[in-house]
Amino acid sequence: PKFAVFASGSGSNFQAIYDAVNDGKLEAQAVLVVTDKPGAFVVERAKNVGVETLAIKPSSFSSKEAYEQEIVKKLKELEVEWIVLAGYMRLIGNVLLEAYPNRIINIHPSLLPSFPGKDAIGQAMAHGVKVTGVSVHYVDAGMDTGPILAQQAIEVVDGDREKTEERIHAVEHDLYMKTLQKLWSR
Ligand code: GRF
């Protein structure tokens, strides 16, 4: 299927998914990267591999609805079938949810329902959990609350956020691709 990746940051998950497609591990087509942060590194990554980008700031629209309508217009133009969130730091609103019912997937760096929202890794470290992980889930109107598609546990490296984060990102890059593979081969 044709999909769009939404991201606000570095875009390492976009890169991993794009590479999987490019290597023939994932039968799909990345047709668009959407970002709310025009300066984010994900824009450079998309340009490097020739994927179209839509970089628009929500603050230049009169409402969240108007912002999302602009995105939906582009998604429809490109015949996008699935939305893959990868570090997109915004709650998805009704316009997108209604345009793509059960077609929006997210990855979150914790074992949901623990530690939803921002800085899940920091939250887990602050709580002192010994095991955390990664979740891939359908997106609904809540914050990291939709039905879970896949999870993988990771041992926390005690007191070492950087090493823990490295482990989490490595698992994310593998798990996202594999979960999409299963989802899209049904
Ligand atoms: C990932 O940890 C993702 O789970 C979280 O934001 C991070 C994005 O990383 N929601 P990147 O931009 O894909 O490198």
Residue entry with tokens 């896949």: 150
29-35, strands of its sheet edge to edge:
53-55, 29-35, 2-6, 82-85, 104-108, 131-138, 148-155
Query: Is 47 annotated for ligand binding?
Result: no
How do 2-6 and 82-85 pair as beta strands? parallel
Query: Is 12 annotated for ligand binding?
Result: yes
Query: Is 64 annotated for ligand binding?
Result: yes
Is residue 27 over pLDDT 90?
yes
Q: How confident is the model at residue 39 (pLDDT cuts 50, 70, 90)?
A: very high
Sign, CA dihedral 127-134-8-74, equals negative
**ipTM score for this prediction:** 0.96
Average pLDDT, integer, range 44-64: 98
Mean pLDDT of the residues in the chain: 97
Is residue 113 over pLDDT 80?
yes
Is residue 109 over pLDDT 80?
yes
Q: Which residues pair with 35 in a beta bridge?
A: 55
Residue nearest atom 5 in ligand 1 by C-alpha distance: 87
- Taking a C-beta distance cutoff of 8 angstroms, is the pair 76, 43 a contact? no
Residue entry with tokens 């593998």: 174
Q: How confident is the model at residue 66 (pLDDT cuts 50, 70, 90)?
A: very high
Is residue 74 over pLDDT 90?
yes
Average pLDDT, integer, range 123-135: 97
Q: Is 173 a catalytic residue?
A: no
For a mutational test of ligand 1's pocket, the pick from 107, 152, 173, i.e. the residue with the most ligand atoms closer than 8 A to its C-beta, is 107
- For the CA of 12, the closest atom of ligand 1 is 14
In whole angstroms, give the CA distance from residue 175 to residue 181. Answer: 10
In whole angstroms, give the CA distance from residue 124 to residue 169. Answer: 15
In whole angstroms, give the CA distance from residue 64 to residue 43. Answer: 22
Q: How confident is the model at residue 100 (pLDDT cuts 50, 70, 90)?
A: very high
> What tokens were used for 89?
């730091």
Task: List, in order of start, the domains of the chain with CATH numbers.
Answer: 2-184 (3.40.50.170)
Q: How confident is the model at residue 186 (pLDDT cuts 50, 70, 90)?
A: confident
- For the CA of 134, the closest atom of ligand 1 is 4
Dist. CA 105 → ligand 1 center (Å): 13
Strand, helix or coil at 127? helix
Q: Residues with Cβ within 6 A of ligand 1? A: 7, 9-13, 86-87, 107-109, 172
